[in-house]
Amino acid sequence: MITFARLSEQFYALTAQWGIPWIVPTLVVMGIVVGVIVAYIAVAAMFLIWWERKISAHIQVRFGPMRVGGWHGWAQSIADGIKLLLKEDIIPARADKVVFVLAPMVVFAASLATYVTIPWAPGLIVKDLNIGLLYMVAISSLTVVGIVMAGWSSNNKYATLGAMRSAAQAVSYEVPLVLSLLGPVMLAGTMSMGQLVEAQGGTWFGFLPGWFVFPQAVAFLVYFVCALAECNRLPFDIPEAESELVAGFHVEYSGMRFAIFFLAEYANMVVVAAIATTLFLGGWRGPWLPIPGLPAEVSRGLFSLVWFQVKVYFLIFVMMWLRWTLNRLRVDQLMDFAWKILLPIAFANLIITGLVVTIWK
Amino acid sequence: MDTREAPIPVGTTVMMERTGETMEEMYVNMGPQHPSTHGVLRLMLKLDGEVMTDCIPYVGYLHRCHEKIAENRTYPQVVPYTDRLDYLASMSMNFGYVVAVERLMGQKVPERAEHMRVILAELQRIASHLLWLGTFGLDLGNFTIFIYCFREREMILDLFEAVSGQRLNYSFYRIGGMAFDFPDGWLDNCRAFLEWFKPRIPEYDALVTDNILFQKRLQGVGVLDAKRVVDWGLSGPMLRASGISYDLRRNDPYSIYDRFDFVVPVFDTCDVWARFLVRRQEMLESVKIIEQALDQLPAGEITAKMPKTIKPPAGQVYARTESPRGELGFYLVSDGSPKPYRYKVRSPAFCNLSALPEMMKGYLVADAVAILGSVDIVLGEIDR
Amino acid sequence: MTPDEILEQLKQQFGDALAETEVKGTEVRLTTTPDRGREVCRHLRDLGFEYLNCVSGVDWLTHLEVVYDVSSLRHPNKAHVRVKVNRDNPAVQTVSDLWPAANWHERECYDLFGIRFDGHPDHRRILLPEDWVGYPLRKDYTDERMVPYTDYGMEEKVAKTEAAKGAPKETKAPAAAPPKPSTPAS
């Protein structure tokens, strides 16, 4: 089977034959990977921003962008991006400059690092770590560090309070998130993202696809809610809310730095949707047809790539739908919800899954 | 109340004070420019952690010397100034003023004009409540309800524009009647709007009222029991949300409100949720009143025969009407001249806002926005 | 209780302190002095007038006046109490402990007329800035920033048309802003 791992192995072997030290091909491969992923994130974020505006508009009985670029304003995001690049770079007077500049980078880097173990198609995964899921969850919690850095360095009482709230929210919702993810892990018996998808072959009762969402529906819902909270999306967007008294950690940011925070948020949305797709919706699995002129493997790969994207963007659509329909929770209600409701449900799910798996085996 | 210190000057920026009484007491300033205060209101919140221990409102940023100006204008010339009081319910402000002057003069108004007044005032009530609902939802994070409410409000504004030429400050009522008659087709458009509007409330219900997140934000918050509500002189939906069934259209009828059959919605949980339900129900009741008024609309004059210069006899009157925000009172003193000797506006939002500290004490900072939104203030009439 | 009965009871209680009493519809009107004003108000509150509608000031050139409008939510009667105060040292007792609604009303009265309310818990200006000098709603208030109102000769115009036509014209005297925004203001 053609996999990224095999291709890169062959590339390393080739360059070793030519006597080039190992560091060079490694860097080349890393460079290509980073380039592709950053390009993907950039395009995805632009698309998602446009899509969000369109979805919000249609829910609100209006049109959204219609002019920029002609057809339904598809170039709106590009125009916005150019505008943000041209804005003045303002750093508050007594802000901690180094930390202020680094904070958006940290948030973005944490989001970026999780793209390493996303299984885009069979064999197309940068590195199928055997602790892939653990790695993803762990690295994505580094965004909290970036948020606290942003709030603290802004030298603004409101920003600091907003950052503290955001950190509290992120940390509280991590716990049920991880617990809900353990259900499918137990069913599959592995934390490797690639193998989690492999384990969802087959069918339930002969007609339902073998995805883990069917036995783990509760875990899926818990995970989805926690994912919304991790991305600071409504109804959990206290950290970003303008009309709440404490405005949020990014209140002193403007221009491109602000844009990086939002790029990171959309990148994060893609990641959490990707995790949900991989663990619950069967990842890249889906019906495929052989394309004439291409080997079966490749056409299966292409179809799988498309299926993965479809599932991921469907989940993102649901996230956006919720944002424009629901209102915000109060901070203490948010914490209550995480600790008193989601956590016990996640635990219960874990225990029941464990029992069932043990008895079955 | 005596523990309040000297007022903090407007220029003061970030303030963090450890007074030593409790662990950490902090003053947080909200406004006068802030995405959620409805107008230029400055609130100084005294916080103990996340709990508000006191709230000091500072008003007067929109003071435009309305009462002094009115002393130098003739009675009809004051009408456009009354629009600008509560600019979101201009028809109701006009209504209150002309009722006061007519009471002072003992002037009778033709039947058609009376019906027109009621129709427009009730449409204005719906428009004002829609705006309130939209901005209230927006404060809480629900962006969609804002657009939906404004869609309906635009239809009402189109009706108002057809009848008066203005979208916001209509100056449409005259002492003794109305400025113009309904244009052709207006009555049909009005009925069509009412038919469109009736299924909208269930639509809003699906979005906000039945939404448990919304309910959780509002229930049990900003409670002000019946006794305090009366003591503090609150009126309108604030009163009816605390179990007191008092509506000036029913208890002290003015114009022709005693001819219409409508229910005064009263809820008794005394919290923000009750105020929300009262205003929501009032919109439906207003629809009923408009329909009855449209059915009963007689033909005839739209204004009585008025003298060239309006000179009410010397005397005083305090006339009150039910504006969307509560009891709007006009205290007029006349000395027989064409200009009012003393003109005082008792604005409902002014009195409702004075009780804000009572409503805020003991609740979390995150509730401040919800509580302030439930008072439905318009700074134009608070500051005049 | 009818308004007449209420007035009778008040007269029995306070006698000479009341002046210019009358009953207009459901409203009891009376005038009183600053030293008895608060007691009258308390008595009214005990008679069931638990709702304070309005506290206003009036400048009568010779003296100032504080006007209380109270009503009841249970019976349809209203009361209208006027308290005459002198101009040079205007002071009355506060009623904000009887009706907390008076708190902001009295602050506004102080702000715009300069009438002191003894015993008020938060006696400071409300609408004008803290450092404002003067009491604008008094008739003798002058301010170099005030611009005199010109009605652009409307009264002469009206007199001319009246003389020309002979009969008085309909309805509107110097009219309010016409509805079409394109027409210049009259």
Chains C and B touch (3+ CB pairs under 8 A): yes
Mean pLDDT of C113-121: 91
Are residues C179 and B310, on separate chains, in Cβ contact within 8 Å? no
pLDDT on residue B17:
42
Query: Looking at the structure, do residues A69 and A215 belong to the same domain, yes or no?
Result: no
Please report whether residue B37 resides in a domain. no
As a whole number of angstroms, the distance between CA B242 and CA C11 comes to 36
Do A325 and B207 make contact, defined as CB atoms within 8 angstroms? yes
C72-116 residue pLDDT tens: 988 888 999 999 998 888 889 999 999 999 999 999 999 999 999
In the predicted model, is pLDDT for residue A80 greater than 50? yes
CB C57 within 8 A of CB C65: yes
User: Is B152 part of a structural domain of the chain?
Assistant: yes
Query: Does residue B183 belong to any structural domain of this protein?
Result: yes
Is B213 close to A327, i.e. CB distance below 8 A?
A: yes
Which of B166, B180, B331 is nearest residue C67 as measured by Cβ atoms? Answer: B331
Cα C144 to Cα B144: distance, rounded to the nearest angstrom: 49
Of the residues C21, C51, C135, the best mutation for testing chain B's interface (the one with the most B CB atoms within 10 Å of its CB) is C51
> A231 and A268 in contact (C-beta within 8 Å)?
yes
The position carrying tokens 């409203």 is: C27
Q: Do A240 and A248 form a contact (C-beta atoms < 8 A)? A: yes
Number of neighbouring beta carbons within 10 Å of residue A292:
6
Question: Measured between CB atoms, does A329 come within 8 Å of chain B?
Answer: yes
- A326/B366 Cβ within 8 A: no
The residues facing B321 across adjacent strands are B328
> In the structure, what pLDDT confidence band is assigned to residue B352 with cuts at 50, 70 and 90?
very high
Among A56, A86, A116, give the residue marking a domain's end: A86
> Does a structural domain hold residue B10?
no
Residue type, B118: V
- Binding partners of B (≥3 Cβ pairs within 8 A): A, C
Residue A318 reports pLDDT greater than 90: yes
Interface membership of B162 toward C (CB under 8 Å): no
Cis peptide before A235 (omega within 30 of 0): yes
Q: For A235, which of B139, B208, B213 is closest by C-beta distance?
A: B213
Answer yes or no: do A295 and A166 share one domain.
yes
- The Cα of C113 is separated from the nearest Cα of chain B by a number of Å equal to 12
pLDDT digits (tens, 9 = 90+) for C18-33: 888 888 888 889 899 8
Q: Do residue A170 and residue A37 come from a single domain?
A: no
**Do A159 and A291 belong to one domain?**
yes
Number of domains composing chain B: 1
Q: Is C12 strand, coil or helix?
A: helix
d(CA C159, CA A26): 98
Q: Which of A61, A237, A326 sits opposite B147 (nearest CB)?
A: A61
Residue A205: count other Cβ atoms within 10 Å of its Cβ: 6
Closest CA to B352 of B275, B262, B245, B269: B275
**Residue B133 covered by a domain:** yes
Query: Which among C126, C139, C150, C182 is the top mutation candidate for probing chain B, defined by the most B β-carbons within 10 Å of its own β-carbon?
Result: C126
Neighbours of chain A (3+ CB pairs under 8 A): B
Nearest residue to B201 (alpha-carbon basis) of B128, B281, B271: B281
* A and C make contact (3+ CB pairs below 8 Å): no
- Per the CB < 8 Å rule, is B50 touching A331? yes
Residue-wise pLDDT for C140-168, tens only, equals 888 888 777 776 666 677 778 778 776 55
Between A202 and B68, name the one with better pLDDT. Answer: B68
Does residue A123 share a domain with residue A56? no
Q: Are strands B173-174 and B326-334 parallel, antiparallel or unpaired?
A: unpaired
Which of A276, A265, A258 minimizes the C-alpha distance to A313?
A276
Collect all residues of chain C within an 8 Å Cβ-Cβ radius of residue B164.
Answer: 179
Contacts of A241 (CB under 8 A, 6+ apart): A247, A248, A328, B141
Give the tens place of pLDDT for each residue, A133-164.
999 999 988 988 988 888 888 877 777 877 88
**Per-residue confidence (pLDDT) for residue B63, from 0 to 100:** 92
A116 alpha-carbon distance from chain centroid: 12
Tokens (6 digits) for A275 = 């995790």
Assess B301–C contact: CB distance below 8 Å, yes or no.
Answer: no
Q: Distance of alpha carbon A144 from its chain centroid, rounded?
A: 14
CB-based contact A123:A5 (threshold 8 Å): yes
Highest mean pLDDT among A147-161, B16-30, C132-146: C132-146
Q: Are strands C91-93 and C51-59 parallel, antiparallel or unpaired?
A: unpaired
pLDDT at residue B7 above 70? Answer: no
Q: How far apart are CA A216 and CA A210, in angstroms?
A: 12
Q: Give the residue from A181, A173, A271 showing the smallest Cα distance to A226.
A: A173
Which of these, A91, A100, A144, A115, lies nearest to A42 by C-alpha position? A115
Query: Does an H or E element contain A5, and which?
Result: helix A4-17
pLDDT at B21: 43
Structure confidence at residue A331 (pLDDT)? 80
Shortest CB distance from C130 goes to which of B7, B232, B246?
B7
Does residue B164 sit at the C interface (CB-CB below 8 Å)? yes
Contact B359, B222 (CB under 8 A): yes
In the predicted structure, residue B337 carries a pLDDT above the cut 70 = yes
Number of domains in chain A: 2
C57 bridge partner residues: C66
**Quick check: B244 and C73 in contact, CB under 8 A?**
yes
CA C64 – CA C87 distance, rounded (Å): 6
The predicted-structure confidence for A18-33, as pLDDT tens digits, reads as follows 888 888 888 988 899 9
pLDDT at B199 over 70: yes
Beta bridge partners of B178: B173
DSSP string covering B171-207: --EETTEESSPPPTTHHHHHHHHHHHHTTHHHHHIII
**pLDDT tens figures, A106-128:** 999 998 999 989 999 888 888 88
The whole-angstrom separation of Cα B351 and Cα B356 is: 9
B28, B141, B148 member nearest A234 (Cβ): B141
C19-71 tens-digit pLDDT: 888 888 888 898 998 888 888 899 888 888 999 999 999 999 899 999 999 99
C145 touches chain B (CB under 8 A): no
**Do A139 and A114 touch, CB atoms closer than 8 A?**
yes
pLDDT at residue C68 in the model: 93
Range of the domain at A203: 91-360
pLDDT of residue B35: 65
In this structure, the answer to whether residues A176 and A195 fall within a common structural domain is: yes
List the single residue in B with minimal CA-CA distance to A331: B366
Identity at A209, one-letter amino acid code: P
> What are phi and psi for residue A120, nearest 5 degrees?
-75, -35
Are A111 and A243 part of one and the same domain?
yes
Reported confidence tier of residue A246, pLDDT bands at 50, 70, 90: low
Quick check: B140 and A328 CB within 8 A?
yes
- Out of B28, B138, B216, whose CB is closest to A245? B28
Give the number of A-B residue pairs with CB atoms closer than 8 Å. 77
Residue C31 touches chain B, beta carbons under 8 Å? no
Please report whether residue B30 resides in a domain.
no
- The CATH number that applies at residue B151 is 1.10.645.10
Of C101, C124, C149, the CB nearest to B233: C101
Specify the pairing of strand C27-32 against strand C78-86.
parallel
Q: Of A138, A137, A114, A120, whose CA–CA distance to A278 is shortest?
A: A120
Domain shared by A208 and A230, yes or no: yes
From the candidates B147, B150, B221, B371, which should be mutated to test the interface with A, based on the most A CB atoms within 10 A? B147
Domain presence at residue B34: no
Distance from CA of A157 to the nearest CA of B (A): 8
Per-chain mean pLDDT for chain A: 86
In this structure, of A223-237, B283-297, C51-65, the range with the lowest mean pLDDT score is: A223-237
Percent of chain B with pLDDT over 70: 92
Interface of A with B in 137-196 (CB under 8 A): 157
Look at residues A29, A63, A86 and tell me which one is the last residue of a structural domain: A86
Judging contacts by C-beta atoms under 8 Å, the chain B residues touching residue A243 are: 35-36, 138-141, 369
Are B375 and B349 spatial neighbours (Cβ–Cβ below 8 Å)? Answer: yes
CB contact under 8 A, A330 and B141: no
- Give the per-residue pLDDT at A157: 74
**Which one is predicted more confidently, A203 or B351?**
B351
Q: Which amino acid is at B108?
A: K
Cβ-contact B302, B145 below 8 angstroms: no
Q: What is the mean pLDDT of residues B124-148?
A: 91
Q: Does A63 share its domain with A138?
A: no
Reading phi first (left if > 0) and then psi (alpha if -120 to 50, else beta), residue B229 is in alpha
Domain span including residue B365: 66-382
Q: Are residues A65 and A123 in the same domain?
A: no
Nearest Cα to A335, choosing from A123, A172, A139, A99?
Answer: A172
More confident residue, C152 or B157: B157
The reply to whether residue B213 touches residue A62, judged by beta carbons under 8 angstroms, is no
- Distances from the Cα of B66 to the Cαs of B62, B78, B83, C137, in angstroms? 10, 9, 11, 10
Ramachandran quadrant class, A310 (left: phi over 0; alpha: psi -120 to 50; beta: rest) = alpha
Size of interface B-C (CB pairs under 8 A): 134
Which chain C residue shows the shortest CA-CA distance from B174? C172
Q: Is the pLDDT of residue B205 over 60?
A: yes
Nearest to B32 by CA among B305, B377, B359: B377
pLDDT given at position C163? 80
Confidence of residue A7 (pLDDT cuts 50, 70, 90): confident
Q: Does A297 touch chain B (CB under 8 A)?
A: no
Q: What is the structure's pLDDT at B16?
A: 41
Instruction: Read off the DSSP letter of residue C15.
Output: G
At C176, is the pLDDT very low, low, confident or very high (cuts 50, 70, 90)?
very low
Determine the pLDDT at residue A67.
83
Look at residue C61 in the predicted model and tell me its pLDDT. 87
Q: Are strands C91-93 and C116-118 parallel, antiparallel or unpaired?
A: parallel
* A60–chain B Cβ distance below 8 A for any pair: yes
Q: Are residues A65 and A198 in the same domain?
A: no
| Average pLDDT of chain C to the nearest whole number | 82
The pLDDT mean for chain B works out to: 88
- Which of A51, A67, A86 finishes a domain? A86
Q: Which residues of C touch B306 (CB under 8 A)?
A: 170-173
Tell me if chain B has a CB within 8 Å of the CB of A325. yes
pLDDT number for residue B91:
93
Backbone angles phi, psi at A171, to 5 degrees: -65, -40
pTM for this model (two decimals): 0.86
Residue B217 has pLDDT above 50, yes or no: yes
